[in-house]
């Protein structure tokens, strides 16, 4: 029997890639027993031998903590009232113990955020206040920001700040600083996943099939990017009108003198005013110029471009926008800059220039499909201006649909929006009856004006 147990445990250790912390036969035997029960999802039977090993040999094997989390999660799901609170607190304690005995396998930001989120999700059972919960998240974030990456926890952390602000327990400045901090953190994570995904998208676009492992990684990256996209929208929705011009301008005016030598403060203040369309106020001019004088950068040049746009000096604005792009060294951020500039040009009706910037954004960050949708929208908006006959004008919608399809191909989180756009454009394009009447099935139509492209009439 002992031989069988020893062989089973040896196989277990190989599978978990873990070594012995100490040679204890009783712990070895009971670990094998509770692990088999966990594999069979018989968590009640696993509990007693698991607790015995946890208490006697806490450093023996990381399976104590991996399996223990499953055992306690099952207990929590079945329990109510005081018993549930006991098991919740024990799971939090288990993660702390894991950090003590297996620190290299227990990133503080990741597991700290899990503990805080567990408390938040069960705040009524554990009788936790918003102040206590925010303090929990904040301590973890400050201790290990690098591994505090869970999208849900980042949203909860910011949501608690808003709730405390609404309750009069946090000042507006703290709220705005935390908003900027979390948004920058989310952008950093989106950048990391996007860069990994871009490599795979470029391989696919080049006509090379992904391996099974690469396909799994692609799905993993896409799922996280979708989650970050969702919480970004949630963060902005939660912020709502709390950061409007009536609040921002007096706050930044009051604090300008003491912060005019602080490049981070100036950049965030100018950024928030730009984001909330407070750029007509003279304070924005002061912030931007102070920031550019103190720390010339891609962002400061971009804000100067906004100022020139406000003055109606489009050519000078473009000069500053291009300067912003040339100053930016990070391709992901450079792609975002190109997209922002393109959106401004699109809003002004400068479609040809906008497309140039959109295409550059796509080149730098091909896994973001939004520029494709923007280009498609510009094509559709130009249909009446870029065709010499009614049929050819409507044919522009085929071009718009083709562009929108590209968005879904490279960016799975846009599949729904892209499908709606494609359906809308195709409904406005010539029908099969129109194609039959003109006798132009399969012919190539050249699209004029700023578009300068061609589209093939579908064969019927």
Q: Please, what are the averages of pLDDT over each run of 10 residues along the chain (460 residues)?
A: 44 44 77 96 97 95 97 96 97 98 97 98 97 98 97 98 97 94 95 95 93 96 95 94 92 94 94 92 94 92 92 92 94 95 94 97 96 98 91 95 96 95 96 91 93 92
Q: Identify the pLDDT of residue 60.
A: 93
Asked whether the beta carbons of 436 and 457 are under 8 A apart, the reply is: no
Distance of CA 54 to the CA centre of its chain: 37
Burial readout 193-222 (b: 16 or more C-beta within 10 A, e: otherwise): bbebbbebbeebeeeeeeeeeeeebbeebb
Q: Identify the pLDDT of residue 387.
A: 82
Q: Identify the pLDDT of residue 262.
A: 95
Q: Identify the pLDDT of residue 16.
A: 42
Q: Identify the pLDDT of residue 310.
A: 87
All domains of the chain, ordered by start, with CATH?
A: 1-106 (no CATH), 357-460 (1.25.40)
């Amino acid at each position: 029997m002992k031989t069988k147990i020893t062989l089973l445990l040896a196989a277990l250790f190989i599978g978990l890639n873990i070594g012995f912390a100490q040679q204890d036969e009783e712990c070895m035997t009971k670990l094998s027993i509770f692990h088999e029960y966990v594999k069979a999802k018989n968590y009640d039977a696993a509990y007693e031998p698991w607790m015995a090993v946890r208490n006697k040999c806490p450093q023996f094997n990381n399976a104590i903590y991996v399996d223990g989390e499953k055992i306690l999660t099952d207990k929590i799901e079945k329990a109510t009232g005081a018993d549930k609170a006991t098991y919740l607190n024990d799971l939090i304690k288990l993660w702390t113990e894991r950090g003590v005995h297996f620190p290299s396998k227990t990133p503080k930001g990741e597991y700290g955020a899990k503990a805080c989120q567990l408390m938040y999700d069960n705040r009524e059972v554990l009788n936790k206040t918003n102040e206590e919960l925010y303090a929990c998240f904040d301590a973890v974030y400050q201790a290990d920001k690098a591994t505090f990456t869970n999208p849900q926890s980042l949203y909860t952390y910011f949501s608690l700040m808003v709730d405390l602000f609404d309750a009069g327990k946090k000042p507006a400045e703290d709220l705005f600083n935390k908003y900027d901090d979390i948004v920058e953190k989310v952008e950093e994570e989106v950048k990391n996943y996007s860069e990994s995904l871009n490599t795979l998208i470029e391989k696919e676009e080049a006509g090379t099939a992904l391996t099974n492992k690469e396909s799994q990684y692609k799905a993993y990256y896409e799922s996280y990017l979708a989650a970050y996209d969702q919480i970004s929208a949630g963060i902005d929705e939660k912020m709502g009108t709390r950061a409007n011009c009536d609040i921002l301008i007096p706050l930044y005016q009051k604090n300008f003198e003491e912060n005019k030598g602080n490049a981070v403060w100036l950049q965030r203040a100018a950024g928030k005013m730009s984001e909330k369309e407070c750029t007509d106020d003279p304070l924005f001019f002061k912030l931007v110029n102070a920031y550019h004088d103190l720390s010339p950068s891609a962002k400061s040049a971009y804000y100067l471009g906004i100022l020139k746009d406000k003055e109606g000096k489009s050519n000078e604005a473009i000069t500053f926008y291009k300067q912003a792009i040339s100053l930016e060294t990070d391709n992901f951020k450079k792609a975002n800059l190109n997209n922002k500039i393109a959106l401004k040009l699109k809003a002004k009706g400068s479609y040809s220039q906008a497309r140039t910037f959109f295409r550059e954004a796509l080149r730098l960050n091909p896994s973001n499909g939004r520029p494709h949708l923007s280009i498609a929208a510009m094509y559709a908006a130009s249909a009446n201006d870029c065709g010499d006959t009614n049929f050819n004008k409507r044919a522009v919608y085929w071009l718009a649909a083709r562009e929108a399809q590209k968005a879904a191909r490279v960016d799975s989180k846009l599949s729904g929006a892209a499908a709606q756009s494609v359906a809308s454009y195709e409904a406005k394009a010539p029908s099969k009856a129109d194609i039959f009447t003109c006798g132009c099935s399969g012919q190539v139509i050249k699209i004029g004006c700023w578009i300068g492209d061609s589209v093939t009439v579908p064969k019927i």
